[in-house]
Amino acid sequence: MSNARSDRDAVRAQEIAAEQQYLTVLYDKLDALRQETTQRLKDTLRDSGGPPQARTERDISTRMYTDKLTQLSAVEHGMCFGRLDMDSGETFHVGRLGLFDEDNEYEPLLLDWRAPAARPFYLATAAARDGVRRRRHLRTSWRKVLDYEDEVLDLDAAEQGSDLGLAGEATLLARLDARRTGQMQDIVATIQGEQDRIIRAGMNGVLVVQGGPGTGKTAVALHRAAYLLYTFREQLSKRGVLVVGPNETFLRYIGQVLPSLGETGVLLSTVGGLYPGITATAGESARAAEIKGRESMVDVLTAAVRDREQVPADHVEVIFDREPLRIDRKTATQARTRARRSRKPHNLARRIFRNEMFSALTLQVADRLGRDLLDRRDLDEINVELRADPEVDRALDELWPEITPQQLLDELLSSPDRLASATRKHLDDDERAELQRAAGAPWTPADVPLLDELAELLGEDDAQARAERERQEREELAYAQGVLHIMEQDEEIADEERLRVSDVLDAELLAERFRARSDLTAAERAAEDRTWTFGHVIVDEAQELSPMAWRVLMRRCPSRSMTLVGDVAQTGALAGANSWHEVLHRYVQDRWKLVELTVNYRTPAEIMAVAAEVLAEMDTDLAAPTSVRTSGHQPWARRVPDLATGLPDAVAAELREIGEGRLAVLMPPQVLAEIGPQLAESLPEATLGTRPDDLDSPVALLTVEQAKGLEFDAVLLVEPAAIAEESERGLNDLYVALTRATQRLGVLHTGDLPEVLRGI
């Protein structure tokens, strides 16, 4: 027995040594690529000056080499994580990016995990081997091979797998048991079959991924973004991919995943971050956010815009050329009717209203001077003088002002009269009082969909900008014509090269290419342009979005190429969704596909048993996902006389248990406001969870809303009864809170536990 074990150990040591040798080759190749890219970047930066075309190309090259260096640096840890041994005798290593041997006909040294040839690493089973004889999972620490796990895909080996059919079970469970950090870890080395099928689904249409806590929804969404950019790069590189998360803390948490998967050009944003130039981070009541999220707010905002298109009660007099002019109700009403009939947005229809009014006022002045004595030129001169008169301009501006979305919404919410006028058919007095706020108040996330809607209703009179853009395009066309002329006359350019260029380029096409070249990525350009439309949109925690927020996202993606990830059982926002049909029917009818993730990789079975009791009490027919592991730690509940003394002791005890892990203390907002600052001051390891950087701390003091989408080694849930009773979706919030932990769960309470938790 001892000899057999010794032989196995010797074979294992040889295999690890062989894998180490190959890994060293891969990292040598990575270092060479970094060095080459760094040198090219240095050469590019040294090349200054030159004509506009050369400077543009230099900027593009700088961006390209910088992005390449970012990608090469991001894959340093865990670059190679697997190997496929095929029936054909071929062997392929799988990793975070593709590496090739240029000296050997570009033979693959490392397969990119997104490449079709790498897919069997995630999908091959004993029943459908896809030519795979053995699948090896490598466990590495930076550039060192620590161990490996082999799966021999024959019928006998299939009997040894888990009843969940997990690929690389030992590697997966080791990963799940690892301590959490302040950043999300990717799952590229341990993607399971049900996850891979979602990641590699086609790009067209709306794909809804429904999954309970811990099923890897967020990881699947991010890996899908990386896969789509790899597979459909030509289509998506121009329009970009938008990933929408629930809050800034969450975006910071996932921020390093995409670079580690080889992608840096994705725009990460909250809905509140989708209006350029607006910082929308202020807080407000859940009720106010729910009211703002209602679809009826479209009618409210439309009414608010129409309220700014006024006519005089009787008439208004202005002095022009030392004589009074009369702006009467009938004339103004006729001008307003013509402007509204154009169906143009308010600021664009304003020009029609003013043109009508200036024409009427011109005739009024002409009648005063004697119209029969005036010709067309005289009338035009009067019209020009009227337009230049400040008093006339102010009077017409009072009737139909040019207004920005920010100005209109601020004035609407800070004026009881304006708010009452716009909402009289839609809100009661209590709801109006909930929306009322001081003028100039900071923007909240729920304000952004309203601002975006107003931008559509108001429009922008861009006549001057359009004229400037046309002038630039004329200059670019002239420049392109000059470039082509020089090429035609240059004797050093071969005839066949000159013909090839002239066949594929004309001056207009060349000018368009000049305009498309920019040192900004598609994601960066999109972040500055409210009207940008994306090639694909991925929404995480999609169940939380209000109807008004969905209108924003649908405008950003008219192609309806979207991946929506969430769990309607975890809906916490009052304006959130009860069903996916409720969200999507008005936009795509029944043309959307639902897939489900059913395996819980995060929450141990001991904690999930408690959470399942809460789920059973909720108004949903969803089943709790199946946990793949146990932690050996039973959830506990403890009643304390007061939190000020009981909570610090519990935090200290949990920190001793988890060592270098992360602990979240989740509590109702009012409790966090009352004791959070004092607790953070008494615990040097703790921070209040109001900033993205707080996740780096050993202890994060958070509300359930702030913890959504995050995971921690241990969770202390404080006053669960208050969480459950806080809103009509209190049980949903309680379900979310219970499923944030990967190892340990404790409950502290001063009053009675909710009935649903009394089994702890």
> Domain holding 257: CATH number?
3.40.50.300
Interatomic CA distance for residues 552 and 530, integer angstroms: 10
pLDDT of residue 23: 96
Residues 129 and 43 in one domain: yes
User: Is residue 385 within 8 Å of residue 358, measured between CB atoms?
Assistant: no
Phi, psi angles (nearest 5°) of residue 215: -85, 0
Overall number of domains in the chain? 4
Q: What is the pLDDT of residues 149-175, one digit of tens each?
A: 898 886 554 434 444 456 666 566 565
Residue 724 in tokens: 């459950």
505 falls in which pLDDT band (50, 70, 90)? very low
Last residue of a domain, one of 402, 426, 454: 454
- How many residues appear in the chain? 760
pLDDT of residue 759: 80
Residue 20 in tokens: 């180490």
Residues 234 and 200 in one domain: yes
User: Is residue 249 within 8 Å of residue 706, measured between CB atoms?
Assistant: yes
Q: What is the pLDDT of residues 606-635, one digit of tens each?
A: 999 999 999 999 978 888 899 988 999 999
Average pLDDT of the residues in 413-433: 96
The set of residues, in sequence order, having a beta carbon less than 8 Å from that of 323 and lying 6+ positions away, is 368
Residue 200 in tokens: 């590699």
521 falls in which pLDDT band (50, 70, 90)? confident
Interatomic CA distance for residues 106 and 100, integer angstroms: 5
Range of the domain at 419: 291-438+445-454
- Comparing 582 with 62, which gets the higher pLDDT? 582
Beta bridge partners of 134: 85, 152
Q: Give the range among 334-338, 486-490, 686-690 with minimum mean pLDDT.
A: 486-490
Interatomic CA distance for residues 422 and 406, integer angstroms: 16
| Number of other CB atoms surrounding residue 637 within 10 Å | 17
Q: Give the range among 340-354, 669-683, 710-724 with minimum mean pLDDT.
A: 669-683
Where do runs of H (alpha helix) occur along 436-535?
Answer: 447-458, 463-489, 495-504, 507-516, 522-527
Last residue of a domain, one of 564, 580, 600: 600
pLDDT at 695 over 90: no
- Comparing 473 with 732, which gets the higher pLDDT? 732
pLDDT at 684 over 70: yes
Task: Provide the 3-class DSSP secondary structure of residue 512.
Answer: helix
Residues 649 and 587 in one domain: no
pLDDT at 463 over 70: no
498 falls in which pLDDT band (50, 70, 90)? very low
Pairing of strands 107-112, 99-101: antiparallel
Residue 51 in tokens: 């004509």
Interatomic CA distance for residues 751 and 748, integer angstroms: 9
Residues 297 and 310 in one domain: yes
pLDDT of residue 501: 40
Phi, psi angles (nearest 5°) of residue 317: -110, 140
pTM over 0.85: no
Average pLDDT of the residues in 388-407: 96
Q: Give the range among 241-255, 340-354, 499-513, 534-548 with minimum mean pLDDT.
A: 499-513
Residues 124 and 35 in one domain: yes
Residue 485 in tokens: 């002329």
Residue 36 placed within a domain:
yes
Q: Give the range among 442-456, 488-502, 523-537, 660-674 with minimum mean pLDDT.
A: 488-502
pLDDT of residue 665: 95
First CA to last CA across the chain, in angstroms? 46
Q: Give the range among 366-380, 502-516, 588-602, 709-723 with minimum mean pLDDT.
A: 502-516
Residues 34 and 167 in one domain: yes
Task: Provide the 3-class DSSP secondary structure of residue 287.
Answer: helix
Task: Provide the 3-class DSSP secondary structure of residue 101.
Answer: strand
Integer CA distances (angstroms), 15 to 19, 78, 89, 756, in order = 6, 18, 17, 52
Residue 489 placed within a domain:
no
pLDDT at 533 over 90: yes
Residue 584 in tokens: 């999507």
User: Is residue 357 within 8 Å of residue 396, measured between CB atoms?
Assistant: yes
Residues 265 and 407 in one domain: no
Interatomic CA distance for residues 442 and 141, integer angstroms: 46
Residue 465 placed within a domain:
no
Query: What does DSSP assign to residue 182?
Result: S
pLDDT of residue 227: 92
- Comparing 180 with 721, which gets the higher pLDDT? 721
Numbered residues of the known binding site for ATP? 211-218
Q: What is the pLDDT of residues 98-135, one digit of tens each?
A: 999 988 878 899 999 999 999 999 888 887 888 999 99
Residue 655 placed within a domain:
yes
538 falls in which pLDDT band (50, 70, 90)? very high
Type of residue found at 546: S
Residue 186 placed within a domain:
no
pLDDT at 396 over 90: yes
Average pLDDT of the residues in 312-337: 94
Residue 747 placed within a domain:
yes
Q: What is the pLDDT of residues 351-374, one digit of tens each?
A: 999 999 999 999 999 999 888 888
Residue 601 in tokens: 């990789």
Residues 172 and 198 in one domain: no
Residues 127 and 259 in one domain: no
* Mean of per-residue pLDDT scores for the chain: 86
Type of residue found at 315: H
pLDDT of residue 551: 98
pLDDT at 511 over 70: no
pLDDT at 588 over 70: yes
Average pLDDT of the residues in 201-227: 92
The set of residues, in sequence order, having a beta carbon less than 8 Å from that of 686 and lying 6+ positions away, is 651, 665, 679, 680, 697, 698, 699, 700, 701
SS (H, E, C) 212-257: CCCCCHHHHHHHHHHHHHHHCHHHHHHHCEEEECCCHHHHHHHCCH
User: Is residue 259 within 8 Å of residue 183, measured between CB atoms?
Assistant: no
pLDDT of residue 497: 44
Residue 573 in tokens: 């926002």
Residues 40 and 168 in one domain: yes
pLDDT of residue 46: 79
Percent of the chain with pLDDT over 70: 85
Residues 146 and 5 in one domain: yes
Percent of the chain with pLDDT over 90: 59
Residue 44 in tokens: 């590019």
Residues 161 and 254 in one domain: no
Interatomic CA distance for residues 188 and 223, integer angstroms: 8
Residue 460 placed within a domain:
no
pLDDT at 735 over 80: yes
Residue 493 placed within a domain:
no
Numbered residues of the known binding site? 211-218
Q: What is the pLDDT of residues 232-277, one digit of tens each?
A: 988 888 899 999 998 887 888 787 788 777 777 789 999 999 999 9
Average pLDDT of the residues in 376-392: 95
Last residue of a domain, one of 149, 177, 205: 177
